[in-house]
Amino acid sequence: MAIVMRIIQRFQASKRQEFIALEKQFAALEKRGILPQGERMLPLSSREPGNTLIWVGHFPTLCAAQECLQKFETSPEHEELFNSQVHYFQDTWVEFYEMLEC
């Protein structure tokens, strides 16, 4: 069963530039193969406010998605950037979706 994982991060609107600058550093780690790759989105018209970043990853199984989270938690590079970015968080959560084949 294919899985979509979304990591939602609501950040301080007044710190948007700083938050996005750090997010670009996370993306660079993904491009270098240090972290699992995902897509990033900011809402234009959504239930979520504009100061929300959504990271989306696609995985073949729920176990693979959970392994991705484990990689984030154990990566020293991720930890260093996360510690710089966490001060801007208002809220964060993770969602898992099963892809339907209709």
Model confidence at 102, in pLDDT bands (50, 70, 90)? Answer: confident
Residues pairing with 55 in the sheet? 7, 40
> 101 pLDDT band (50/70/90 cuts)?
confident
Helix 16-31 crosses helix 76-85 at what angle (to 10 degrees)? 170
Among residues of the chain, what percentage have pLDDT more than 90?
97
Q: Binning pLDDT at 50, 70 and 90, where does residue 42 land? A: very high
Cα atoms in the Cβ-side hemisphere of radius 13 Å centred on 56: 9
pTM: 0.92
Token pair for 36: 């699992």
Q: Which residues pair with 56 in a beta bridge?
A: 6, 39
Domains in the chain, please, with CATH?
Answer: 3-98 (3.30.70.100)
Task: Say how far apart CA 25 and CA 31 lie, in whole Å.
Answer: 10
Helix pair angle (76-85, 62-74), 10° resolution: 80
Residue 75, pLDDT > 90, answer: yes
